[in-house]
């Protein structure tokens, strides 16, 4: 066994010297490479033109030196800045090498020398793999040695622990000794495979194991001593990571985060636990600030957040104060320690977006959301938000009201998002968490109060049932103040950041006010929430006015967002004080006031506020079409609540569209015109529906008469839009007129011809011979289509005009056919009555007469579509004569049917012959 132990020690020595010799050999190769690069620099210096500045030549030499030292040019500049100022330099947005690429006077070769050479297999095998394998071997050897001594009882536990501790200290000392004597180029070229770092990591793991074995296995020390020793080892590892790299810092962080879990005590102190975790986080942040690390701080955020969530979910009674203060310390450290201001210059060096950038909004958005340091900001945000959600999800008792704890955490995260330009994700997560958690608190109000009450009874804390509502509104006010301050201080440096906080300040305070009003307020009339909304609206509008006076282009988008936010605040006030008809009228009236403001301020948002108000009104109408409720709606036609509820918003929409008819913003002009047209048609339709349905609005299927009125309204709307387009050309009017005509065609095809046709439904057509249901259901819409087709000639595409004419002819044909059936069958023309012989003969006569009439009209107006419709009717009459009249008619009626058909056909042929022969003659005479 002794020989085996000696052999193991010899193996350690051999492995150690092998790795050291490999590193020395690699350093010699680097020295040779340095000589080659020096020669290259000399050649490049001779090739550079005299016009190149001395500064550019110095930068070129630094880029060449970076090949040997394994350091990029930005890192060299950062170190130089750090040496001069004594503080960590800001991270550059782009390296000076990229600036050199933009300088046409610098040769390309001077720039491309920055690329690092590809590492050879020998380098990987000797300089990296050997180090990693050596570290693993050291750890394995130590484990085997301890295992051997335990199994054979060679040494007492105390001696074994002492020797293991000594071995760990020797490893740390060896790592430090090698670090001081190693070739400087090795540390830069093989930063993730440094022999000193591997030895120090092995030493840390050994000491961790020694302390835990002394506490958990042999009971030589108590929990307090073990906790202190483990903490010291963890902090010492973090301190040494400043010399040996980020990987060792991660090991020290892991040790510090695991230490509380390794120590078991019957009386744990939650304050001590989170105090220790907070100190560990701060130590990690300080080390990361000095070395500009990004991975380890993110892991520290994850560790602290995991402890907070785990403690909340596993405890029967949650002590919220230490958790809250630990996370607030993390937020404060993120604001002032790391990343602090280090990345704010990334946004500052970006000028406001130009118009050419607007073509790529997706790229700009991704660049804005992905600005450094992404991992740190995301993990910090998730740690706070998930902890807040855990507080709301736990069924355990809580020492403080959950609404207060959640609000403090979210406000702290919002402060981080408002205080630093790079903290985009904290701002977004804080906004979403504020709205989400406030809604969860409101929905589970009774459950939380009962849970908190059981703890408060033991803690002698009074429960205030109105606390949640007050906290919700206070949180909204704080977000509003953060937004105004962030816009004021940061927008000139970063327009996107100001726009983000303008959106947050416009949405979050109003959203929290709405949650508070709906869940806790008096829905009939609530003066408190009305004052809250009024204050928000005034502050946002005043801030927009104040920022607009700066005349800086960067404030343009934030100002418009604030204007929209002010409207939302006033909208909350309207809903808090009014309901029903008054609310529906006041919303577009408020929007119209903003439209009038366009005469004093050129804010695009003023017009869009009116569009938003009309959309909200349409939403309210969709929710409650009767405006005042079915039980309060009068039965008087036209003069009822519908006239005011639909008519006044429609009138304001029309006035707004007229006032903005010369607006340079084509989008809002078209949108308002479309909304106004839609609301006019909708108002007329709802008044007709109310009048035709006995003063009741429901989902009953309309009658043919009611549907005919809708069709006439749609055709009329098409004509009105066409007229407006002639006077004030607009794509809304142009395409809207054709859309209205097509919608009317669909109504005719589905409702008039099939669904509501009295031939299929059996609906009574009325007692009067001419003024009956068929008149309003078919003849009037047909005449309207004919008039619209005539008016649209030369103004709309020919196929559309032809469709209008054909639809008018089809409706006229339907009226004539059904009128024939009514003449023979009476008021009820249902299909179950069958057909009479005289009725069948009459169809042929009427169809031929209509065909002749259409032919005459087509010739008179030179309308090919009418002539084609005439031909279709004549062919239909021919088909009827041979297929139906031949079998159903008898005697003289059959003969008359064919005689009349023949006469008409001959007449039509003569008519066409005359037309065709007269045209060449006319042309000859003219010539």
pLDDT at residue 696 greater than cutoff 70 = yes
- Per-residue pLDDT tens digits for 52-89: 444 444 444 444 344 333 333 334 333 434 333 334 44
What pLDDT is attached to residue 81?
A: 40
What pLDDT is attached to residue 450?
A: 45
Which range among 211-225, 315-329, 475-489, 778-792 shows the weakest confidence by mean pLDDT? 211-225
pLDDT at residue 27 greater than cutoff 90 = no
What pLDDT is attached to residue 715?
A: 92
520 backbone dihedrals φ, ψ, rounded to 5°: -120, -15
In angstroms, rounded to a whole number, what is the distance separating the alpha carbons of residues 736 and 719? 10
Which range among 143-157, 228-242, 812-826 shows the weakest confidence by mean pLDDT? 143-157
* DSSP helix/strand/coil, 793: coil
What pLDDT is attached to residue 83?
A: 39
Residue 582, judged by CB atoms within 10 A of its CB (0-12, 13-18, 19+), counts as middle
The encoded tokens of residue 664 equal: 């340079």
Residue pair 562/540 in contact (Cβ under 8 Å)? The answer is: yes
87 backbone dihedrals φ, ψ, rounded to 5°: -125, 155
Residues 6+ apart with CB under 8 A from 826: none
- Per-residue pLDDT tens digits for 359-382: 456 566 666 666 668 899 999 999
**Averaged confidence pLDDT in the chain:** 78
Cis bond before residue 644 (omega within 30° of 0): no
- Per-residue pLDDT tens digits for 705-719: 999 999 999 999 999
Percentage of the chain beyond pLDDT 70 is: 70
| Partners of residue 332 on adjacent β-strands | none
DSSP assignment, residue 639?
S
- Residue for token digits 């003066």? 527
Best CA proximity match to 133, nearest among 2, 238, 22, 207: 22
Task: Give residue 545's pLDDT band: very low, low, confident or very high (50, 70, 90).
Answer: very high
DSSP assignment, residue 640?
S
In angstroms, rounded to a whole number, what is the distance separating the alpha carbons of residues 489 and 476? 20
Angle (nearest 5°) at CA 243 between 242 and 247:
70
Report, in this order, helix, strand and coil percent for the chain, each rounded to 5.
80, 0, 20
What pLDDT is attached to residue 913?
A: 52
| H/E run at residue 397 | strand 397-398
What pLDDT is attached to residue 730?
A: 83
**226 or 188, which is more confident:** 226
What pLDDT is attached to residue 28?
A: 52
In angstroms, rounded to a whole number, what is the distance separating the alpha carbons of residues 137 and 143? 10
| Partners of residue 548 on adjacent β-strands | none
What pLDDT is attached to residue 53?
A: 42
Give the number of other CB atoms < 10 A from CB of residue 51: 8
**641 or 102, which is more confident:** 641
pLDDT at residue 246 greater than cutoff 70 = yes
> Which of the listed ranges 103-112, 504-513, 628-637, 836-845 does the model predict with the highest average pLDDT?
504-513
What pLDDT is attached to residue 849?
A: 79
> Which of the listed ranges 254-258, 300-304, 452-456, 710-714 does the model predict with the highest average pLDDT?
300-304
In angstroms, rounded to a whole number, what is the distance separating the alpha carbons of residues 384 and 379? 9
pLDDT at residue 465 greater than cutoff 60 = no
* Average pLDDT value for residue range 276-283: 93
What pLDDT is attached to residue 884?
A: 64
Contacts 24+ apart (CB under 8 A), 410-413: 410/384, 410/385, 410/434, 410/437, 410/475, 411/475, 411/478, 411/479, 412/327, 412/328, 412/331, 412/332, 412/384, 413/331, 413/380, 413/381, 413/384, 413/385
Q: Where are the beta strands (DSSP E) in 251-297?
A: none
119 backbone dihedrals φ, ψ, rounded to 5°: -75, 135
* DSSP helix/strand/coil, 662: coil
DSSP assignment, residue 192?
T
Question: How many CA atoms are closer than 13 Å to the CA of 163, on its beta-carbon side?
Answer: 13
Burial call 738-764: b when 16+ CB within 10 Å, e when fewer: bbbbebbbebbeebbbeebbbbeeebe
pLDDT at residue 101 greater than cutoff 80 = no
In angstroms, rounded to a whole number, what is the distance separating the alpha carbons of residues 531 and 209? 63
């Amino acid at each position: 066994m002794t020989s085996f132990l000696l052999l193991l020690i010899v193996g350690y020595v051999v492995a150690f010297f092998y790795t050291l010799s490999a590193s020395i050999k690699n350093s010699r190769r680097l020295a040779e490479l340095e000589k080659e690069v020096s020669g290259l620099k000399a050649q490049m210096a001779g090739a550079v033109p005299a016009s190149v500045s001395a500064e550019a030549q110095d930068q070129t030499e630094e880029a060449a030196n970076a090949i040997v030292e394994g350091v990029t040019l930005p890192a060299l500049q950062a170190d130089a800045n750090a040496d001069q100022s004594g503080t960590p330099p800001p991270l550059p947005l782009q390296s000076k090498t990229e600036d050199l690429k933009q300088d046409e006077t610098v040769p390309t070769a001077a720039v491309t020398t920055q690329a690092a050479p590809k590492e050879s297999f020998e380098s990987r095998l000797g300089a990296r793999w050997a180090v990693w394998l050596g570290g693993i071997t050291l750890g394995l050897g130590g484990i085997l040695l301890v295992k051997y001594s335990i199994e054979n009882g060679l040494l007492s536990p105390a001696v074994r622990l002492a020797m293991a501790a000594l071995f760990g200290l020797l490893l740390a000392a060896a790592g430090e000794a090698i670090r001081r004597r190693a070739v400087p180029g090795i540390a830069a070229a093989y930063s993730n495979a440094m022999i000193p770092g591997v030895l120090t990591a092995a030493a840390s793991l050994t000491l961790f194991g020694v302390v835990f074995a002394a506490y958990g296995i042999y009971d030589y020390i108590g929990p307090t001593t073990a906790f202190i020793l483990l903490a010291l080892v963890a902090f010492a590892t973090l301190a040494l990571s400043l010399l040996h790299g980020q990987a060792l810092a991660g090991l020290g962080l892991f040790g510090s985060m695991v230490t509380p879990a390794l120590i078991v005590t019957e009386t744990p102190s939650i304050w001590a636990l989170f105090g220790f975790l907070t100190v560990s986080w701060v130590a990690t942040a300080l080390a990361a600030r000095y070395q500009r690390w990004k991975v380890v701080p993110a892991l520290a955020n994850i560790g602290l957040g995991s402890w907070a969530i785990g403690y909340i979910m596993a405890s029967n009674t949650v002590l919220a104060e230490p958790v809250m203060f630990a996370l607030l310390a993390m937020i404060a450290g993120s604001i002032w320690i790391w990343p602090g201001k280090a990345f704010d210059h990334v946004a500052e060096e970006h000028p406001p977006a130009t118009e050419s950038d607007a073509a790529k909004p997706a790229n700009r958005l991704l660049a804005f959301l992905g600005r450094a340091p992404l991992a740190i900001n995301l993990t910090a945000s998730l740690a706070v938000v998930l902890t807040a959600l855990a507080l709301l999800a736990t069924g355990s008792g809580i020492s403080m009201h959950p609404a207060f704890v959640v609000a403090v955490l979210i406000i702290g995260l919002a402060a981080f998002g408002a205080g630093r330009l790079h903290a985009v994700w904290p701002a977004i997560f804080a906004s979403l968490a504020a709205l989400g958690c406030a809604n969860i608190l409101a929905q589970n109000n009774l459950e939380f109060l009962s849970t908190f009450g059981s703890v408060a009874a033991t803690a002698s804390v009074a429960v205030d049932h109105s606390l949640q509502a007050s906290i919700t509104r206070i949180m909204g006010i704080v977000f509003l103040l953060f937004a105004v301050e962030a816009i004021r201080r940061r927008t000139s440096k970063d327009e996107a950041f100001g726009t983000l906080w303008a959106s947050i300040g416009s949405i979050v305070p109003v959203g929290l006010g709405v949650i508070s009003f709906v869940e806790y307020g008096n829905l009939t009339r609530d003066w408190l929430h009305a004052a809250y909304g009024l204050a928000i609206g005034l502050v946002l509008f005043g801030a927009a006015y104040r920022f607009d006076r700066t005349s800086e282009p960067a404030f343009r988008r934030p100002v418009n967002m604030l204007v929209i936010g002010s409207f939302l605040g006033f909208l909350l006030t309207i809903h808090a004080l009014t309901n029903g008809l008054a609310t529906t009228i006041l919303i577009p009236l408020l929007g119209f006031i903003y439209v009038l403001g366009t005469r004093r301020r050129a804010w695009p948002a003023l017009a869009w506020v009116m569009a938003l108000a009309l959309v909200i009104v349409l939403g309210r109408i969709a929710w409650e079409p009767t405006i005042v409720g079915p039980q309060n709606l009068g039965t008087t036609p036209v003069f009822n609540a519908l006239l005011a509820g639909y008519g006044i918003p429609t009138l304001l929409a029309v006035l707004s569209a007229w006032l903005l008819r010369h607006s340079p913003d084509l989008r809002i002009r078209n949108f308002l015109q479309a909304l106004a047209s839609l609301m006019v048609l909708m108002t007329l339709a709802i008044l007709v529906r109310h009048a035709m349905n006995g003063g009741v609005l429901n989902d009953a299927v309309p009658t043919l008469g009611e549907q005919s009125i809708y069709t006439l309204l749609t055709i009329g709307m098409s004509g009105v839009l066409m007229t407006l387009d002639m006077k004030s050309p607009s794509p809304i009017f142009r395409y809207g007129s054709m859309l209205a005509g097509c919608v009317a065609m669909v109504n005719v095809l589905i409702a008039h011809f099939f669904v509501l046709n009295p031939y299929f439904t059996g609906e009574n057509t009325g007692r009067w011979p001419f003024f009956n249901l068929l008149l309003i259901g078919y003849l009037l819409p047909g005449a309207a289509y004919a008039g619209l087709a005539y008016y649209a000639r030369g103004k709309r595409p020919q196929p559309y005009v032809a469709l209008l004419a054909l639809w008018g002819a089809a409706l006229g044909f339907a009226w004539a056919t059904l009128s024939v059936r009514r003449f023979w069958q009476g008021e009820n023309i249902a299909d179950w009555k069958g057909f009479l012989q005289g009725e069948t003969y009459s169809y042929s006569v009427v169809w031929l007469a209509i065909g002749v009439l259409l032919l005459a009209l087509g010739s008179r107006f030179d309308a090919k579509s009418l002539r084609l419709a005439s031909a279709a009717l004549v062919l239909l009459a021919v088909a009827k004569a041979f297929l139906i009249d031949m079998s159903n008619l008898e005697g003289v009626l059959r003969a008359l049917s064919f005689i009349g058909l023949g006469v008409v056909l001959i007449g039509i042929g003569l008519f066409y012959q005359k037309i065709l022969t007269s045209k060449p003659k006319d042309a000859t005479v003219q010539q």
